[in-house]
Amino acid sequence: MTIPEIVMSVTAHPCYDKAAEYMGLKVKRVKVNTETYQADVDEKNIWLHLDACVGGLVLPFMKELGEKRIGI
């Protein structure tokens, strides 16, 4: 039996881990590029959902505001 996986960045909210646990899914966390803030994914033929909640709104401005390290 194949267990579906969720591939997400290390910065993704922990609620996804809990949801995956409830649904019997595996979670694979991937690194984030510290310059571009993009997930470093070397996966092919995967479905993609982008959740740009508050982090998607705030992160682009954090460096400009002087933040050196953003949860990475």
Confidence band, pLDDT 50/70/90 cuts, at residue 9: confident
Is residue 68 in a domain?
Answer: no
Query: Does residue 71 sit within a domain?
Result: no
Residue 41 in any domain: the answer is yes
User: Integer distance in angstroms from the first to the last C-alpha of the chain?
Assistant: 34
**Residue 72 is assigned to a structural domain of this protein:** no
- Comparing 58 with 5, the larger pLDDT belongs to 5
**Is residue 46 in some structural domain?**
yes
pTM: 0.58
Total of domains in the chain? 1
Domain interval for residue 22: 5-62
Residue 70 lies in a domain: no
For residue range 12-60, what is the model confidence (pLDDT) as tens digits? 889 999 999 999 999 999 888 888 777 877 776 666 666 667 766 777 7
Q: Is residue 67 situated within a structural domain?
A: no
Count of CA atoms in the C-beta half-sphere (13 A) of 38 = 4
